[in-house]
């Protein structure tokens, strides 16, 4: 091809009709011809590239190396890709870059030394390659993460193929069954099952493969495992199915539930013992209410009869002894009643109903009939709670009667309050009585414990123990705060429920 031929209409028509960007460069690197596709690719107007050096179309960082490569190509021209081994970039007129593939073809001309460069914008290919690389990295990361989970899982994870042969066996399974993975890989999974499960396994797997009947796929169940030492253990088994690399695999996740089974058996045994204890308690309550109270009532009646019929024959000391006897009988009767009440809590149940505490507290106060020097009042309005009516009545009755009984001030005040605290009601019964030393805060809630001498204040020591038992039966808490000489406040909590209708509670959110 001569220089004249290079300017021929046929050649230029062919160059312009090409969809690829084509540039013809002289020996010194000057652009002689650039087709329309090349001008559009690099952002130049028609004919504007002619005369520019080819390095104009390269980013600055490539230009020095390109000069040396161009001279080497001129010395030994042959068709080849440009930039093999590293990424090439083209530089548009507006300064933006794009990844490019460049093919060099020498042209035989009379002056010699012409080169045609065919340029492809490979932006889309690069983006696809980058997306593919990111996806591969994500898959590798996901695989590594999954491998780490499998390797560190406490549960045993075992994969088998369609023939029932073990494909993988994680460290959790190694610890559980006593085998190393190398010892079981490729062997039938039935080796980990005792009879008669072992003999039925292959048939179950074949039946599933034939008709897809899901006996355990996706369903957890309890089975028995066989260790290497021949011992067996109960385990939970969940099986899943997957296709990996064209292979159909079944993955089983197994968990040793031996300790759980032992705990369940112990719980069952304790429940039986509790039922037996409840029966004994029921029998004890029957004996107390019938066999003890009957002679006690007889003693009380006899003492009253003696005090009435022999009043003129008894001196002052005899009358005092009879008074003390009657007092002891009444105390014993009250103690028996307290024990019976305590034993019934949690054993004898009533229906839980919505109890409006406002009228209930008025009834309790009227029944207590506090002396004129003691005023019992309520702060705000109390809520409606879901409880056994008798039990909540016993709680307030014991707290209020204690406050009245131990009052040491001429003007006694007892205040009942309630605030909403999250998902609980917090009730309080505060008094301005003698107060309680902190060292006794826990002791007073124990059965038969009293702080004042029984000869001075009549008490069975059952009331606060009963309060604690009832409150804890409702999953609440009870405690006391007190200052000596200033008074005490007893607190207890009850759960709030959807039936708590009254919203006029101080502090309710």
Q: pLDDT per residue over 234-265, tens digit each?
A: 988 888 887 777 778 888 888 888 888 888 88
User: Positive or negative, the Cα torsion across 488, 492, 496, 500?
Assistant: negative
Total number of domains in the chain: 4
201: in domain: yes
Comparing 14-18, 33-37, 101-105, the range with the smallest average pLDDT is: 14-18
Domain identity same for 116 and 19: yes
Range of the domain at 55: 3-121
- 418 alpha-carbon distance from chain centroid: 32
Judged against a pLDDT cut of 70, whether residue 56 lies above it is answered with yes
Which residue among 344, 376, 410 closes a domain?
Answer: 344
What pLDDT is attached to residue 85? 46
Considering the chain, what is the average pLDDT of its residues?
Answer: 80
126: in domain: no
Most confident residue range from 1-10, 48-57, 76-85: 48-57
Domain identity same for 171 and 289: no
Judged against a pLDDT cut of 90, whether residue 111 lies above it is answered with no
Judged against a pLDDT cut of 80, whether residue 346 lies above it is answered with no
63: in domain: yes
Whichever domain contains 466, its CATH number is 3.30.565.10
* pTM for the model: 0.44
Domain identity same for 362 and 392: yes
What is the token pair recorded at 259? 């300790």
Helix locations, 7-46, DSSP H: 9-17, 36-42
Whether 25 contacts 51, CB under 8 Å: no
Quick one: average pLDDT of 445-460? 59
What pLDDT is attached to residue 8? 58
Domain identity same for 331 and 414: no
Helix locations, 153-257, DSSP H: 171-177, 181-184, 197-211
Domain identity same for 363 and 319: no
98: in domain: yes
Judged by DSSP in three states, 363 sits in: helix
Tell me the C-alpha distance between 226 and 193, whole Å. 5
145: in domain: no
Comparing 118-127, 221-230, 294-303, 431-440, the range with the smallest average pLDDT is: 294-303
Judged against a pLDDT cut of 50, whether residue 455 lies above it is answered with no
Tell me the C-alpha distance between 124 and 122, whole Å. 6
Domain identity same for 479 and 369: yes
Domain identity same for 84 and 193: no
Domain identity same for 327 and 272: yes
- Cα 484–Cα 485–Cα 488 angle in degrees, nearest 5: 65
DSSP-assigned letter for residue 94? T
DSSP β-ladder status, 353-356 and 384-387: antiparallel
What is the tens place of the pLDDT at every residue in 274-291?
777 767 766 776 666 666
Which residue among 344, 374, 398 closes a domain?
Answer: 344
What pLDDT is attached to residue 163? 86
378: in domain: yes
Judged against a pLDDT cut of 80, whether residue 194 lies above it is answered with yes
**More confidently predicted of 308 and 385:** 385
End-to-end CA, the chain: 95
132: in domain: no
What is the token pair recorded at 129? 């390659």
Domain identity same for 38 and 62: yes
Judged against a pLDDT cut of 70, whether residue 465 lies above it is answered with yes
Torsion on CA atoms 339, 342, 348, 351, rounded to nearest 10: 140
Domain identity same for 161 and 117: no
Most confident residue range from 80-89, 150-159, 387-396, 416-425: 416-425
Whether 423 contacts 496, CB under 8 Å: yes
Closest to 100 measured CA to CA, from 142, 37, 149, 145: 37
459: in domain: yes
Domain identity same for 327 and 391: no
Residue 45: other Cβ atoms inside 10 A: 9
Residues 6 or more apart whose CB falls under 8 angstroms from that of 72 comprise none
Whichever domain contains 49, its CATH number is 3.30.450.20
Which residue among 344, 374, 401 closes a domain?
Answer: 344
Domain identity same for 99 and 210: no
């Amino acid at each position: 091809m001569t220089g004249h031929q290079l300017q021929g209409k046929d050649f230029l028509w062919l160059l312009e009709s090409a969809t690829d960007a084509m540039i013809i460069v002289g020996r010194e690197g000057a652009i002689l011809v650039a087709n329309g596709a090349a001008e559009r690719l690099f952002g130049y107007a028609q004919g504007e590239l002619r005369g520019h050096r080819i390095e104009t179309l390269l980013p600055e960082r490539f230009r020095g190396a390109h000069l040396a490569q161009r001279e080497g190509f001129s010395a030994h021209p042959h068709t080849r890709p440009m930039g093999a081994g590293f990424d090439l970039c083209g530089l548009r007129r507006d300064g933006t870059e794009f990844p490019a593939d460049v093919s060099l073809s020498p042209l035989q001309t009379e002056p010699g030394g012409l080169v045609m460069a065919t340029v492809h914008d490979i932006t889309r290919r690069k983006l696809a390659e980058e997306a593919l690389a990111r996806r591969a990295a994500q898959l590798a990361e996901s695989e590594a993460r999954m491998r780490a989970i499998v390797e560190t899982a406490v549960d045993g994870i075992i994969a088998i193929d369609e023939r029932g042969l073990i494909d993988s066996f994680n460290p959790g399974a190694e610890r559980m069954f006593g085998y190393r993975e190398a010892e079981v890989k490729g062997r039938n999974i039935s080796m980990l099952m005792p009879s008669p499960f072992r003999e039925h396994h292959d048939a179950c797997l074949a039946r599933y493969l034939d008709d897809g009947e899901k006996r355990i796929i996706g369903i957890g169940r309890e089975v028995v495992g066989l260790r290497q030492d021949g011992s067996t253990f109960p385990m939970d088994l969940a099986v899943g199915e997957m296709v990996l690399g064209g292979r159909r695999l079944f993955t089983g996740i197994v968990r040793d539930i031996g300790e759980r089974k032992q705990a369940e058996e112990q719980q069952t045994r304790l429940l039986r013992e509790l039922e037996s204890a409840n029966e004994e308690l029921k029998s004890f309550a029957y004996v107390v209410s019938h066999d003890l109270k009957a002679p006690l009532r007889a003693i009380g009646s006899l003492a009253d009869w003696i005090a009435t019929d022999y009043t003129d024959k008894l001196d002052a000391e005899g009358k005092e002894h009879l008074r003390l006897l009657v007092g002891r009988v009444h105390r014993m009767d009250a103690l028996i009643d307290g024990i019976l009440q305590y034993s019934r809590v949690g054993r004898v149940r009533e229906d839980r109903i919505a109890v409006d505490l406002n009228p209930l507290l008025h009834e309790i106060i009227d029944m207590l009939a506090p002396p004129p020097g003691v005023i019992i009042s309520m702060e705000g309005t109390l809520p409606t709670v879901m409880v056994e009516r008798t039990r909540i009545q016993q709680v307030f009755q014991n707290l209020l009667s204690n406050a009245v009984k131990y009052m040491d001030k001429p003007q006694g005040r007892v205040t009942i309050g309630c605030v909403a605290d999250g998902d609980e009601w917090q009730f309080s019964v505060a008094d301005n009585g003698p107060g309680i030393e902190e060292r006794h805060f826990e002791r007073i809630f124990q059965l038969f414990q009293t702080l004042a001498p029984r000869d001075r204040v009549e008490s069975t020591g059952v009331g606060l123990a009963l309060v604690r038992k009832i409150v804890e039966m409702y999953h609440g808490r009870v405690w006391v705060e007190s200052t000596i000489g200033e008074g005490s406040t007893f607190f207890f909590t009850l759960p709030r429920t959807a039936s708590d209708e009254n919203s006029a509670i101080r502090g309710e959110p």
